[in-house]
Amino acid sequence: MKIGILRTDDVREELVDEFGEYPEMFTGILKNVDPTIETIEYDVFRLEYPADIDDVDAYLMTGSKASVYDDEHWIHRLEDFVRELHERKKKFLGICFGHQMVANVLGGRTAKADAGWLIGVQRHELNAEGLALTSVSEGFNIICSHQDQVIEPATGASILAGNEQCPIAMCRVDDHILTVQGHPEFSPDYANKLYNLRRGQLGDSLVDAGIHSLKEKVDTHQITQWLIDFARATQ
């Protein structure tokens, strides 16, 4: 299976040498679960797109420091591409910004959350439909870093998981779109260093609590397996 990674941001310059860019992070977790997976990067925030939508089997959209409701040309172009993917029922995996983009473009709404920034390891509980899709018996832990949230899901979307502070943390649209608010590609070490770089923005108390939470187990392998299984499943 070949996955096209829609890159929507750059990793902070101070962290690139150690952790790579976002497509490299995603390629790492995908290949750790299934070494046969191939990835190709499309730098969509610099307006780079595939020549043919069927050049790959599925698409994955990364997170971004931008907001999906920003009035930027590259975001409007990406909105059109997401609509096309949906119309064609192309397999699509949305992570953080990608999760929010699907809602914003397909009849829902994304906005800054009343809860403010949510960082660190967050526990999200799966509802009955989420449990059925993932074939597990409980929720999952995932590293987060966001202040925007999906307030209303896309038209026809099923909410699969969430918690009190982020009720819409995982969604599915039919059999071709699966989105997750958290960051399965973040390692605890990367998150630790990223949060420290954002102390001036986030404040010491929030950063310290977020870093402390990184001692908890995260379900990276399990979440990545769900993403791969969904992308590979026949429609």
Tell me if residue 185 is catalytic.
yes
| Chain Cα centroid distance, residue 90 | 17
pLDDT, tens digit (0-9, with 9 covering 90-100), for 49-105 = 999 999 999 999 999 999 999 999 999 999 999 999 999 999 999 999 999 999 999
Tell me if residue 176 is catalytic.
no
How many domains does the chain fold into? 1
Joined together, the tokens standing for residue 29 give: 């977790």
Please answer whether residues 45 and 8 qualify as being in contact, where contact means their C-beta atoms are separated by less than 8 angstroms.
Answer: yes
Sign of the alpha-carbon torsion through 190, 196, 201, 202: positive
Selecting among 99, 146, 176, 183, the annotated active-site residue is 183
pTM of the model: 0.96
Selecting among 96, 144, 166, 171, the annotated active-site residue is 96
Full residue range of the structural domain in which residue 138 is found:
2-232
* CATH (domain of 166): 3.40.50.880
Tell me if residue 146 is catalytic.
no
